[in-house]
Amino acid sequence: MSSYETTESIIILLKRLGKWVAIAFVVLIGIWVLILAWLKFNTWYSIDRHKANVEVVAFFDYKNCTKEYPLFIGVVNNSSKTIESISTNVKVTKRGYSSRLNYDTSYSSDKILLPAEGWGSCWKVFSDNYDSNYDRKPLDGDGMEVVVTSFYPIFKDKD
């Protein structure tokens, strides 16, 4: 076999190998895209579509809550699944301002809510600042507003 034929054989081999590497790469990318699509669909199907039917409200309730526990957080389960627990995050600001005044904490409840049930409770809110004893000062809600920034319901697997 001449050097020309050897070179020709190597080039043919590299072309075929390159073709199969490219095909394998495209197949792996396709599998990766399918896995991501499945994970996104599964999250939507098992959590997000039910979460979209859960209503969470938060406001300072001076009639039904005490001055020590002024923040009312209410949950209405309009989904078709039972909620086993829920965590809610809120942002408290001075009315008309955007800076956070409250310590960023999660308000969690393990109250089981069947479909079409609602529940609420009053909570203490702490300042983002410390007092002279290095304790967080409670906020009373005067001149403040509150916004639900996020909530995370845990749904019962089987109803």
- The per-residue pLDDT for 137 is 83
Q: Predicted confidence band at 130 (pLDDT cuts at 50, 70, 90)?
A: low
Cα angle 111-69-100, degrees, rounded to a multiple of 5: 100
Question: What is the tens place of the pLDDT at every residue in 33-43?
Answer: 999 999 999 88
Residues linked to residue 148 through DSSP beta bridges, in sequence order: 90
> What is the mean pLDDT of the segment spanning 58-69?
94
CATH of the domain at 110: 2.60.40
Choice between 84 and 105, residue whose per-residue pLDDT is larger: 84
Residues 47 and 4 in one domain: yes
User: Where in the sequence is the domain holding 36, given as residue range(s)?
Assistant: 1-52
- The per-residue pLDDT for 21 is 92
Number of domains in the chain: 2
Whether 34 contacts 105, CB under 8 Å: no
> Is-above-0.85 flag for pTM?
no
Residues 83 and 144 in one domain: yes
- The per-residue pLDDT for 134 is 64
Alpha helices in 1-159 (DSSP H): 3-43, 49-51
